[in-house]
Amino acid sequence: MSSVGTPDPNSGWLSDEELAETRRRLPLLYVEAVPVRVDGVGQVTEVGILLRANSAGAITRTLVSGRVMYGERLRTALFRHLEKDLGPMAFPLLPASPVPFSVAEYFPFPGSQFTDYRQHAVSLAYVVPVTGTCDPRQDALELTWMTPSEAASDTVSAEMEGGRGSLVRAALASLGALY
Amino acid sequence: MSSVGTPDPNSGWLSDEELAETRRRLPLLYVEAVPVRVDGVGQVTEVGILLRANSAGAITRTLVSGRVMYGERLRTALFRHLEKDLGPMAFPLLPASPVPFSVAEYFPFPGSQFTDYRQHAVSLAYVVPVTGTCDPRQDALELTWMTPSEAASDTVSAEMEGGRGSLVRAALASLGALY
Amino acid sequence: MSSVGTPDPNSGWLSDEELAETRRRLPLLYVEAVPVRVDGVGQVTEVGILLRANSAGAITRTLVSGRVMYGERLRTALFRHLEKDLGPMAFPLLPASPVPFSVAEYFPFPGSQFTDYRQHAVSLAYVVPVTGTCDPRQDALELTWMTPSEAASDTVSAEMEGGRGSLVRAALASLGALY
Amino acid sequence: MSSVGTPDPNSGWLSDEELAETRRRLPLLYVEAVPVRVDGVGQVTEVGILLRANSAGAITRTLVSGRVMYGERLRTALFRHLEKDLGPMAFPLLPASPVPFSVAEYFPFPGSQFTDYRQHAVSLAYVVPVTGTCDPRQDALELTWMTPSEAASDTVSAEMEGGRGSLVRAALASLGALY
């Protein structure tokens, strides 16, 4: 438990020190979502990318993501992180299938496709249509809606944290919308 | 064109004789949908199965399905057949991805997994959550909502036309809901 | 040709005129393969792209592809076209699953993602590791092995017939190898 | 064991006590494989199921599975567990795609689809064709090759550990081989 006696709600029943320790020992399980808008026949029209100030104060782009906690189902974790990052009125349509469109492996060392300096994380990535109004909370500054081709552009890709540009492209490819 | 000068809206710009002829020469492309109800986190709660009298007058169970016409996109065909079979108030949520959960190959001879005495058809099969009210039209008598385990049961499987019982099971398996 | 009493083995039991007629009436079903080389743990190392002179005499790049014939199983069609385009010693490892990584819709008019001036074709696309020696036959000049990043480059993409550059990218994305 | 200064190679750089502690705090990441034999066009002909004496001495059936260690890639973990369970001459053909056919969530309490009394584990499950000779090692008594319909039968399903019978059925469904 943390020093103030209440568990950090984001630490999955681990104190901060325990989490730091575990991060050096085990791959952590994450879920990740690419929010999209779709038209009446399910065709993607826009992709939602979060704008966020990272811990070093730099502005960076990222996806909805977060850890799966002990005892938590994947779809519950996905819903929780969507609500945390997009607000309670986003009305996401969670996938009926638990099979992700991609599995991203983040390593804390350079040279890997996806990097996370804090840890080895394995992330199950889903495309999630949202039907309501997004109101980013916590540390996100804004959710930017882009066309598929903007979201897949080299410029946006280069701004995305940890190599997630290629995850956005893989999401679009899985939708038949990468050109 | 048909003899009365108006194309049959269900024949994809082929007259009945032309369609009959083509059916002996080429595999026809179909789309097929397993309608489902899902809860707030996307978990399937019910599966919709059509009850229908076939051309021989026998009562049989089946899925939403139909041909893709010349010039028609797959998602447009899927939407058209959902509306035709479930009515205009079903409000189906079409998949954002064009990748089916399964591809069913129907052959007009015994011994194949899926059979269709009329033709060789290849069907791209999708799970489609519906959010509205279903009101089967045309030749369907009723849409029956079942739990996943009822839909996967041997009894229901045996009643399904052309071997589609195994397609329902594959749909449930793709949702992590086949036991 | 039909006039000499023997069906063209590539026309699927249709004469040339019948095939031409059908192409204006129905979507045709194709299978398509992206040949790859993989290492000992299944990671893609190279992608095989065909170099071919098209009917106008221009040099163009393409994938292994071809029609599914009446009565033919998808995996038999896939095997037949792999052998036709890569030769009998390619030793392709056909996918155990019939679910394609993508479904490409080719239309004979501009503005669609994939184009084929001859017809409306729907193509089920698979990644196929090959373990032997490729010796392109028929009208293919050469099979070029490229790294994943070369195959996904704008240059190669622009040289590919009918928009297949985005299909190569989708193949790589499905393998976690699109950057 | 940690007390003698050398980490257990199977504990992922955690001592036994640390692993036991972590198992009460975090979901652990697993990979799981359904070994299959395929014919020349990729069609599954047989499914390999392990026969094993569990810690209580009972004979039970299971799949190839094991933890992903810190810093280890998923495909390396999959290869390591295949070699551990099937021996060095199995020659498995690892999937080119990192996307599993299913994600199984094991919880240490009754009522969940998959159960593991030791822990909350999330398992990425793959179908893996094997081309060589399997020689189960460690605690496995035998690898039994079955036809797809035997492997999917109620009898075999009931004998499988932790609910993995439904995972075998989902594997077969993903191959178009569940009836």
**Which pLDDT band holds residue B2 (cuts at 50, 70, 90)?**
very low
Is B155 in a helix, a strand, or coil? helix
pLDDT in the model for residue D20: 81
Q: Are C143 and C133 in contact (CB under 8 A)?
A: no
Contact D170 B166 (CB under 8 A): no
Q: What is the mean pLDDT of residues C152-158?
A: 96
Percent of chain B at pLDDT exceeding 90? 75
Select from C104, C170, C179 the Cβ nearest to the Cβ of A178.
C170
Question: What's the token pair of residue C27?
Answer: 């979507």
Percent of chain C at pLDDT exceeding 70? 92
Residues from chain D that touch C37, judged by Cβ atoms under 8 A, are none
Strand partners, C36: C47, C129
Select from D14, D99, D120 the Cβ nearest to the Cβ of A25.
D14
Contact A94 B42 (CB under 8 A): yes
Contact B79 A41 (CB under 8 A): yes
Give yes or no for residue B41 having a pLDDT over 80. yes
Select from B78, B93, B175 the Cβ nearest to the Cβ of A97.
B175
Q: What is the mean pLDDT of residues B106-115?
A: 92
Q: Which residue of D has its CA nearest to C101?
A: D97
State the pairing for strand pair D102-107/D114-115: parallel
**Which pLDDT band holds residue D137 (cuts at 50, 70, 90)?**
confident
Contact C96 D43 (CB under 8 A): yes
Whole-angstrom distance, CA of residue A90 vs CA of residue A83: 7
pLDDT in the model for residue D9: 46
Q: What is the mean pLDDT of residues A60-76?
A: 96
Q: Which residue of C has its CA nearest to D101?
A: C97
Q: What is the mean pLDDT of residues B57-61?
A: 88
Span between the terminal Cα atoms of chain B, in Å = 49
Contact D99 A103 (CB under 8 A): yes
Chain C residues interacting with chain D (CB cutoff of 8 angstroms): 36, 38, 40-44, 73, 75-76, 78-79, 93-99, 101, 127, 129, 174-176
- All residues at 6 or more sequence positions from A45 whose CB lies less than 8 Å from its CB, including other chains: A36, A37, A38, A39, A147, A148
pLDDT in the model for residue A40: 95
- All residues at 6 or more sequence positions from A53 whose CB lies less than 8 Å from its CB, including other chains: A59, A60, A139, A141
Residues from chain A that touch D101, judged by Cβ atoms under 8 A, are 99
Select from D73, D78, D175 the Cβ nearest to the Cβ of C96.
D175
pLDDT in the model for residue D138: 67
The alpha-carbon gap from A18 to the nearest alpha carbon of chain B, in Å, equals 30
Select from B43, B96, B98 the Cβ nearest to the Cβ of A38.
B96
Select from D103, D104, D178 the Cβ nearest to the Cβ of B169.
D178
Q: Which residue of A has its CA nearest to B35?
A: A96
pLDDT in the model for residue D67: 96
Spans of all domains in chain A: 26-174
**Which pLDDT band holds residue B11 (cuts at 50, 70, 90)?**
very low
Residues from chain A that touch C179, judged by Cβ atoms under 8 A, are 113, 166
The alpha-carbon gap from B128 to the nearest alpha carbon of chain A, in Å, equals 9
Q: What is the mean pLDDT of residues D51-78?
A: 92
Whole-angstrom distance, CA of residue A23 vs CA of residue C89: 48
Q: What is the mean pLDDT of residues D142-146?
A: 95
Contact A96 B129 (CB under 8 A): yes
Whole-angstrom distance, CA of residue C45 vs CA of residue C157: 18
Q: Which residue of D has its CA nearest to C83?
A: D41
**Average per-residue pLDDT for chain A:** 90
Give yes or no for residue A73 having a pLDDT over 70. yes
The alpha-carbon gap from B93 to the nearest alpha carbon of chain A, in Å, equals 7
pLDDT in the model for residue C59: 87
The alpha-carbon gap from C113 to the nearest alpha carbon of chain D, in Å, equals 24
Q: What is the mean pLDDT of residues A9-36?
A: 82
Select from B43, B76, B174 the Cβ nearest to the Cβ of A41.
B76
Give yes or no for residue D11 having a pLDDT over 50. no
pLDDT in the model for residue C56: 79
Q: What is the mean pLDDT of residues C135-144?
A: 82
The alpha-carbon gap from C133 to the nearest alpha carbon of chain B, in Å, equals 30
pLDDT in the model for residue A12: 52
Chain B residues interacting with chain C (CB cutoff of 8 angstroms): 12-14, 18, 22, 24-29, 68-74, 98-103, 105, 107, 120, 122, 124
pTM: 0.92
Which of B99, B106, B117 to mutate to test binding with chain C, by most C CBs within 10 Å of its CB?
B99
pLDDT in the model for residue A13: 61
Give yes or no for residue B21 having a pLDDT over 60. yes
The alpha-carbon gap from A104 to the nearest alpha carbon of chain B, in Å, equals 19
Contact B174 A78 (CB under 8 A): no
pLDDT in the model for residue B57: 81
Percent of chain A at pLDDT exceeding 70? 92
Q: What is the mean pLDDT of residues D129-137?
A: 92
pLDDT in the model for residue C54: 76
The alpha-carbon gap from D128 to the nearest alpha carbon of chain C, in Å, equals 9
**Which pLDDT band holds residue B1 (cuts at 50, 70, 90)?**
very low
Q: What is the mean pLDDT of residues A113-120?
A: 94
Output DSSP code: residue D108.
S
Select from D103, D169, D179 the Cβ nearest to the Cβ of B173.
D169
**ipTM, two decimals:** 0.90
**Which pLDDT band holds residue B138 (cuts at 50, 70, 90)?**
low
Residues from chain C that touch A174, judged by Cβ atoms under 8 A, are 170, 173-174
pLDDT in the model for residue C12: 52
Return the residue matching tokens 């058209």.
Answer: B80
pLDDT in the model for residue B13: 61
Closest by CA position to A179, among listed C87, D140, C158, C165: C165
> Which H or E element spans position D121?
strand D121-129
Select from B103, B178, B179 the Cβ nearest to the Cβ of D173.
B178
Superfamily of domain C26-174: Nucleoside Triphosphate Pyrophosphohydrolase (3.90.79.10)
Q: Which amino acid is at A30?
A: Y
The alpha-carbon gap from B46 to the nearest alpha carbon of chain D, in Å, equals 17
pLDDT in the model for residue D145: 97
Contact B173 D102 (CB under 8 A): yes
- All residues at 6 or more sequence positions from C31 whose CB lies less than 8 Å from its CB, including other chains: C65, C66, C68, C74, C77, C78, C81, C123, C124, C125, C126
pLDDT digits (tens, 9 = 90+) for C94-132: 999 999 999 999 999 888 999 999 999 999 999 999 999
